[in-house]
């Protein structure tokens, strides 16, 4: 990781390097260090950057190229998913048990980097949830939590972090519910961060990082972090 920029934990939480400074290998790695206080995490997301690291690593900050996104109007709701949604027993809730959702997601793996929701990451996103930025969309079946997702909403962008499923299509049902709520929530873009066959099947697409950052600047002012308001669900 030669040439990697290190962030000062006591420094300005908005002081991230430009995303085009990200390394080619590991692809998209932009910086290391810093801390996970809300101000730094929110500043990162507004600039197209997110934290992702495993327990034995320092805090790592990423801005991959390309960037996987989902426009709500492009969501593909298959006939089988629509049929499953109509079946009885499902109940989609929002923020009824954020901690349980993040704990369930911590049991999953994101690609080759392995388990990445460290205790520090968990605490940071629970804090963001308390502040009104982080939200969970939950799929319950017969009063049991069986799937869901969580992420941050800043303005009209929902930054998806992770999802899990304990029953067939449970995570898809949660994402479908988020998409249905997008007009009321004024969500214009769902950031999926990294591509997967699962997300592609649901309508996500890859954007060059430069296009994603341009779109992000149109939707969110990266320098307006101190005055922005949390999105309440």
What's the pTM?
0.93
Tell which residue, 11, 32, 10, 13, has the closest CA to residue 21: 32
**Does residue 230 form part of some domain?**
no
Q: What pLDDT, in 10s, does the model give residues 5-36?
A: 999 999 999 999 999 999 999 999 999 999 99
Q: Domain range holding 35? A: 5-62
Sign for the pseudo-dihedral over CA of 204, 210, 215, 217: positive
Same domain, 145 and 105: yes
- Which CATH number do you get for residue 46? 3.30.70.3550
- Which CATH number do you get for residue 162? 3.40.630.70
Q: What is the pLDDT confidence band of residue 230, given thresholds at 50, 70 and 90?
A: low
Same domain, 94 and 181: yes
**Which residues are CB-contacts of 137 (< 8 A; sequence separation ≥ 6)?**
92, 93, 94, 148, 149, 150, 174, 175, 177, 178
Q: Is the pLDDT of residue 188 over 70?
A: yes
For 196, the token pair is 């997967």
**Does residue 233 form part of some domain?**
no
d(C-alpha 47, C-alpha 30), whole Å: 12
Say if strands 189-193 and 157-165 run parallel, antiparallel, or are unpaired: parallel
Q: Is the pLDDT of residue 207 over 80?
A: yes
Please say which residue of 36, 62, 88 terminates a domain: 62
**Does residue 229 form part of some domain?**
no
Q: What pLDDT, in 10s, does the model give residues 59-75?
A: 999 999 999 999 999 99
Q: What pLDDT, in 10s, does the model give residues 148-179?
A: 999 999 999 999 999 999 999 999 999 999 99
């Amino acid at each position: 990781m030669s040439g990697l920029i290190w962030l000062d934990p006591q420094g300005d939480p908005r002081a991230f390097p430009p995303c085009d400074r990200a390394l080619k290998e590991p692809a998209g790695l932009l910086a290391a260090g810093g801390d996970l206080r809300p101000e730094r995490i929110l500043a990162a997301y507004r600039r197209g950057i997110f934290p992702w690291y495993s327990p034995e690593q320092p805090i790592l900050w990423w801005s991959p190229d390309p960037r996987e996104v989902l426009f709500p109007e492009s969501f593909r709701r298959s006939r089988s998913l629509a049929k499953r949604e109509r079946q009885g027993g499902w109940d989609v809730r929002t923020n009824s048990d954020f901690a349980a959702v993040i704990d369930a997601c911590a049991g999953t793996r994101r690609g080759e980097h392995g388990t990445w929701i460290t205790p520090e990451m968990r605490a940071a996103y629970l804090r963001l949830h308390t502040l009104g930025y982080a939200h969970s969309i939950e799929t319950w079946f017969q009063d049991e939590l069986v799937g869901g997702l969580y992420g941050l909403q800043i303005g009209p962008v929902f930054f998806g972090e992770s999802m899990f499923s304990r029953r067939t299509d449970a995570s898809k049902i949660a994402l479908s519910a988020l998409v249905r709520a997008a007009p009321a929530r004024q969500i214009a873009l769902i950031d999926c961060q990294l591509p997967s066959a699962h997300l592609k099947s649901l309508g996500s697409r890859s954007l060059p990082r430069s296009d994603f950052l341009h779109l992000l600047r149109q939707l969110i002012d990266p320098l307006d972090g101190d005055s922005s308001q949390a999105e309440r669900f």
